[in-house]
Structure 1
């Protein structure tokens, strides 16, 4: 298997249940990893997953506010598989930095792993 990943992508986005989250927004950190069959060397971008394409999917989805982070990670995972059918596994982890919970918490986290 060949793994292609982007780690610690930073976004300012407006996901959350509380009205102030959709106005003020928050900092989010996103990790995305995908696997494709990789038993022979690849010398053509058409035979792999372009990590620029991974970023574009993430950027587009992060730009649309959702009440739940679970919705975001599922949408990223599903869109990756649609755009890159060769993917056999994906892992998407989304961290909301300093969630508004009235306590000192570094981040909340939602992660989704899928085998196809």
Structure 2
């Protein structure tokens, strides 16, 4: 298997359950890893998953506010699989930095691992 990944892509987005989160927004850190068959060497971009394409999908999905981070990671994994049918596994991890909980917490985290 061949893994293609983006690590620590940062976004300012408006995901959150509480009304102030949809107004003020928050900083998010996104890790995405996808696996495709890797039995032969890849020498052409059309034979792999373009990490620029992964970023474009992430940017589009992150721009649509969602109440729950779970919705975001499911949407990301679904859109990636649609765009790149060769994906056999994906791991999407989304961190909300400094979640508004009235406590000193670096981040909350939701991670989804899917096999297709």
TM-score normalised to structure 2 length: 0.99
Equivalent residue for 2:81?
81
Equivalent residue for 1:98?
98
- Tell me the secondary structure at the aligned position of residue 71 of structure 1: helix
Q: Which runs of 5+ in 2 are unaligned?
A: none
Q: Which runs of 5+ in 1 are unaligned?
A: none
Report deviation, 1:39.
1.0
- Aligned ranges for residues 1-116 of structure 1 at < 5 Å? 1-116=1-116
Deviations 1:20-66 (A, max 9, x none): 00010000000000000001111111110000000000000000000
Separation in structure 2 between the aligned mates of residue 42 and residue 28 of structure 1, nearest angstrom: 32
- Tell me the secondary structure at the aligned position of residue 29 of structure 2: strand
TM-score normalised to structure 1 length: 0.99
CA RMSD in angstroms, aligned pairs only: 0.3
